[in-house]
Chain A
């Protein structure tokens, strides 16, 4: 093993992986470069845009701020892991389409993963609450009204 590497065991979208990773490699780069899961985007690499949002052990996190080796043993969920096994969409993905909650789409995977977190945390009761809880996810196309509506649709459907 190279001196700057370490072995990390990580489960991504239900599939366990054991990988040798550069100790400087971030979780988002591990997902993208080592596992080819490029749905998670990098907008800043600094924790300021939210494009890299994934879930680790059920909690939304910024994958650009986590070194991959620190996620040892973690359960990671990415945008690629959301749909149903038969290729169907998750209801929040469908709600994003229904509300046209995107333009360029670059922030979208992060918005959806963060939106799921927002709903799961019980912070999607009002539009204002959603906006507060989603403010770590920037959308330069400013598709914000649609994003909030999509999250509200799903939260309401779940009786949140």
Chain B
């Protein structure tokens, strides 16, 4: 059989005749099961609608449970009822047509002009909603029918399903239109007028918007469940349908016995309520129907809508087999391309072995094994799946032949996909090789945290096992971690050293430190090296060079102070890195060399030696760095931010001076002597200059603190090497937190009345203290007022991130939906997949893969020249 292609989908409205035609049973009994527990004839569980009990057979098709797909039934409504979903268009039709003759309230030529406009827009595939609105506006305003001359009354639509006619425009007296009245009016509208309301007469008649028959979905759509107590619990839809049938029958009985009009009207209202909530239980204007427990019922619309609805919950995203999810934790001892999988998970997940003459013995081995990794199932060529247990292992192993499939447990070396949400870029799902390990968490090398944006504060990740050989090959070739060291976002490495890796290598390579043979061996123990020149002493730079591939490169390190003229090799700060032929000659290895996002060395290795060598370098580099930092020792404590008395004194003075200068500025402003800056008001000028002064003061305080902390301070080492934290963080801890701001301005409150931020200040106080300048440090602690200002400033950041994530998430979804069918073809053009329409004649106009670009540039001319001309510049 060839797969069929859907060329179009057309939506129509069901007519009463069609509902009856597709129905196999007319239902009129509110009971579901009789005393013996059998479905009642004419009830909602009628066996003609299909069966959900394993013992019963369907009366319509004879199928058992699982065979019969279920069949629709119907309820003949005692009185017509408005369909909520169509209430709005009913309102449009009632207002737009004559109450006497049913014609559109518009002359024919005008109507035809509008219809032509709608056709034109339809053909262009554009929205014609605006035309419909215009027609509605015109017809609603008509006072007299242009066809029969009848006076028109205003129609009022009250949500969700009520319609009124204003009989007297003076007194605003209203008369209710019953669904029956509404239906009669809709019946009168001629087919020729329908296109003007956006309806196609070939598929819709407007009176069908008022229900006289209600289709009842098959029982398979609303199966009941048996509770542990043995009690039957019905689906919410069944509950709702029971209500509908009950009221419907009561209405019939009352009408037949000639009950008063009022009672009938109340029952009619009730029927309308039940049918409305049957379609949508979240309609505004009416209370939702509730379960006995008080829980709102989940009716038709609720099944489709929202995150767990049919579309977002079952179709766009669904739960899958061969997957696992658990907490992640770090393991620097495994490779970046591996993932540690708990034994429990490995036992549960399986990989198929497709048995051929060549792997028959290999497959048999798993069948005979009694401990993991062992075979868990075999599938015979006839599709029969047999569970492998200790008692049948040998027997199955004997029978095994080519064509069978053996499902074995996950084991070391299997390829799996590893994922962390939110999956915002392609590096959010990468292929890793399995390492089965004890304990209950997934283990990953900390160097792959940046692409996943993962940390270990409780993050969980997902793992998927590709089942076909094609999928496995694709994962290995296209999705492997080492293929994603360079990011297509900025053309630089996204996988590289973080935190301790950077600190470790900084400690190792800074200056001319010497290490004994023993120390060197200990550092390099975890690294796979075949040969090391025999020496009594090694410098840190030599040790690092052992793991370095043969690259040549020169660059300024992260610790570079940015001297006016770089002294390059002669930098007294050891901040200029020179690597020649894989030997680190000068400079310190830090974030700029091996960090994720910046790592120039990683970048260079990737371009020169490719993915495999880069992977090995990152593995070795992280292992070396971790061993160095553990052996040398590295720690920070609260007293790392202690500064001597004289430093505190100097900082105090600096800040006091700045505050005084701010006061002077305010004085000048008050006396009218402040010169405004170009394009600014005097007030703005004052604010800017005060901010400037206070900002400068904090920087100066930070400099003082930094001077006294010194380069041996652990926190300073982390900040300058780029491992973690910044000098600003240190300044705020040791010296001064500085100005707090909201929307880039000093804190301000109460222009109209109070003129001050809090009651601790005089009105109109513009001084530093009164408007959110925090002169304390985190170490010394904040005063209550400072603390309040700090909270106000900190809150802005929190609000910003909350707003940004939701906005960018929505943008991301829209982008994915808009771009999902675009593909870069082999000829470099970008085309839409189904229509073949060209979007770009050359991808990105230059045809360059951004991942293979050099930090966004198509080529790095300097590097090419250097390579061709020889290393020396």
Asked whether A and B interact, the reply is no
Q: Measuring CB to CB, which residues of chain A are less than 8 angstroms from any residue of chain B?
A: none
Q: Measuring CB to CB, which residues of chain B are less than 8 angstroms from any residue of chain A?
A: none
